């Protein structure tokens, strides 16, 4: 018996991978209109500036960073399968009116799932194009009614060494935590993802709920979120705690600011031979640069 979860969509509406991969076919399947034209005008710009040909499903789901399941790229796909993602509860805490514990289904029910094809740039120098499925984090935040004290949002992810073998080592402080300024969290590009390629999110990619902020390095995208906390002060974030000289709070993709140990000017799309230039804010500068007006992006890395 198939139990439909809040974020699932009927099988009849799931776009097969081959259709995503073949832009022509995708256009045909969409009745002769380009993907952008299907989106409401406000979201049309969100498809992104460059040609976003999705990376194959097999690559996106077998080349992962998820230290709770080991430090190699292959281990999350091998070890995360046993993680129990249903039932799942998300706690909303801190400076908001509607704090409390929500089932995953109740949390996502009000939202229509959207496809967002985003370039995903890891701080290590690789990138992929992922056809995420998810909903606007800003829409959720508005429903949770943050108070005037809320200036930041922290995302806490699952802490369960019984299910997450990587947490038996102290390679990172657990649980993995991430954070955004409230205006970054409310930006229409920021989503909570529940799926990719029209299918529920595989465990190794952060099921059942993970953050996606396309103009920031991939490590901002916390997987397996269990708590959302509205805060007055800037929250701690895992990589900043672990190696503060290398990873800051902002983590905006910036080809002009090198990592202390390597250049960030170029990136290798996973599975491809040639590197490509990394774009300012990962190609989303038109939409997000104004969030950082007047800030020094070298010191706020
Ligand atoms: N979330 C958790 N809970 N644990 C992690 O180790 N790794 C981050 C991020 N989210 C990580 C995490 C890093 S470094 C990256 S690059 C992305 O997840 C990778 O996402 P992907 O495996 O879906 O490509």
Task: Assign residue 186 the CATH number of its domain.
Answer: 3.90.420.10
pLDDT over 60 at 248, yes or no: yes
Average model confidence (pLDDT) for the chain? Answer: 89
Mutation pick for ligand 1 pocket among 223, 243, 246 (CB with most ligand atoms within 8 Å): 223
Q: Is residue 194 situated within a structural domain?
A: yes
Residue 146 in any domain: the answer is yes
Strand order in the sheet with 225-231: 100-103, 89-94, 225-231, 152-157, 177-181
pTM (predicted TM-score):
0.88
Nearest CA, atom 11, ligand 1:
66
Residue 29 has pLDDT above 80, yes or no: no
CA-closest residue to ligand 1 atom 10: 222
Please give the distance, rounded to the nearest whole angstrom, from the Cα atom of residue 64 to the centre of ligand 1: 7
pLDDT at 51 (0 to 100):
78
The single-letter DSSP state of residue 250 is -
Domain contains 125: yes
**Number of domains forming the structure of the chain:** 1
210 is in which domain, residue-wise? 11-292
Distance 154 CA to ligand 1 centre (A): 16
Coil, helix or strand at residue 59: helix
Q: Which string of DSSP letters, residue by residue, matches 145-183?
A: -B-TT--EEEEEE---TTT-GGGGS-SS-SS-EEEEEHH
Query: In this structure, what is the dihedral angle of CA atoms 90, 96, 100, 103, given to the nearest 10 degrees?
Result: -40
pLDDT in tens, 263-281: 999 999 999 999 999 999 9
Say which residues have a Cβ less than 8 Å from residue 123's Cβ, sequence separation at least 6: 217, 218, 219, 247, 251, 259, 264
In a domain, 3, yes or no: no
Write out the H or E segment, with its range, that includes residue 202.
none
Parallel, antiparallel or unpaired: strands 266-269 and 126-136 = parallel
Q: Which atom of ligand 1 is nearest to the CA of 239?
A: 14
- The secondary structure of residue 54, as a DSSP letter, is P
């Amino acid at each position: 018996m198939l139990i439909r979860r809040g974020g699932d969509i009927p099988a009849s509406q799931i776009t097969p991978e081959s259709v995503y991969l073949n832009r022509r076919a995708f256009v045909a399947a969409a009745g002769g209109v380009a993907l952008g034209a299907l989106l409401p005008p406000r979201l049309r710009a969100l498809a992104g500036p460059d040609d976003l040909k999705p990376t194959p499903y097999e690559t996106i789901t077998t080349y992962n960073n998820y230290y709770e399941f080991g430090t190699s790229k292959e281990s999350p796909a091998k070890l995360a399968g046993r993680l129990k993602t249903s039932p799942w509860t998300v706690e909303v805490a801190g400076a908001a009116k509607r704090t409390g514990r929500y089932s995953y289904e109740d949390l996502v029910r009000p939202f229509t799932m959207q496809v967002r094809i985003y370039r995903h740039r890891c701080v290590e120098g690789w990138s992929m194009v992922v056809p995420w499925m998810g909903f606007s984090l800003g829409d959720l935040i508005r429903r949770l009614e943050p108070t005037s004290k809320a200036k930041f949002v922290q995302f806490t992810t699952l802490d369960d060494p019984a299910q997450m073998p990587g947490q038996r080592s102290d390679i990172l402080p657990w649980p993995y935590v991430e954070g955004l300024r409230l205006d970054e969290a409310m930006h229409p590009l920021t989503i909570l993802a529940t799926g990719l390629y029209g299918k529920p999110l595989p465990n190794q990619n952060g099921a059942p709920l993970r953050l996606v902020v396309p103009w920031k390095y991939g490590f901002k995208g916390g997987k397996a979120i269990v708590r959302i906390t509205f805060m007055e002060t800037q929250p701690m974030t895992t990589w900043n705690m672990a190696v503060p000289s290398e990873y800051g709070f902002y983590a905006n993709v910036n080809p002009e600011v090198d990592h202390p140990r390597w250049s960030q000017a170029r990136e290798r799309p996973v599975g491809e031979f040639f590197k490509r230039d990394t774009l300012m804010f990962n190609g989303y500068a038109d939409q997000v640069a104004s969030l950082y007006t007047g800030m020094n992006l070298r010191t706020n890395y």
